[in-house]
Amino acid sequence: MLHAVVAIRAVVAVSLGAIYFTGSAYAQKNGGSNVEMSIIKPEGIEKVERLPFKDRPSLKATEGKDATFRTTRDFVSADGKLTAGIAQFDKMTVEVVDFPVDEYMHLIEGEVEITDNAGKVTKFKAGDSFVMPKGFTGTFRQLTPMKKFAVTYTPGD
């Protein structure tokens, strides 16, 4: 049974293997005959209070320890395993150890540099999309303040 569908409504173009996104995203919950849509608009993040970033077991700030962030959870699937929303972070660097979820990210603003534990460095900028898989270990360096559209999936045990 389909629990959730995430669709992007906007101008979508495929160029050199990258998907470029502008506009709004919609998430659809499968609730039988009562289906409701969640609208995810990047500008909605501006209404959310900024909070101080706090280290977690899988994420530890190494630069920008006074950084703030804000995030929305515009969609949560019925089983709680799939979420979608917008997140905005100050410039900072985070050591990632055994990332706890699969996360698709589309950068709306900013630039990031990700180094995996083998030392491979990959840079992304506004308009780029990528997936950070569950179990990833490395460094997530935000070269500028960043805003992203994110979809996370937490598999069951």
**Which tens digit of pLDDT belongs to each residue from 54-78?**
999 999 999 998 999 999 999 999 8
Q: What is the pLDDT of residues 86-116, one digit of tens each?
A: 999 999 999 999 999 999 999 999 999 999 9
Q: What is the pLDDT of residues 34-53, one digit of tens each?
A: 667 788 888 889 899 999 99
> How confident is the model at residue 8, as a pLDDT?
37
> How confident is the model at residue 25, as a pLDDT?
52
Average pLDDT value for the chain: 82
> How confident is the model at residue 36, as a pLDDT?
73
Residues with Cβ within 8 Å of residue 151, at least 6 apart in sequence: 6, 82, 83, 84, 103, 104
Which SS3 state, helix, strand or coil, does residue 113 take?
Answer: strand
Tell me the C-alpha distance between 115 and 61, whole Å: 15
Domains contained in the chain, CATH given:
42-153 (2.60.120.10)
Task: Using the structure block, give the residue that is written with the tokens 């849509």.
Answer: 37
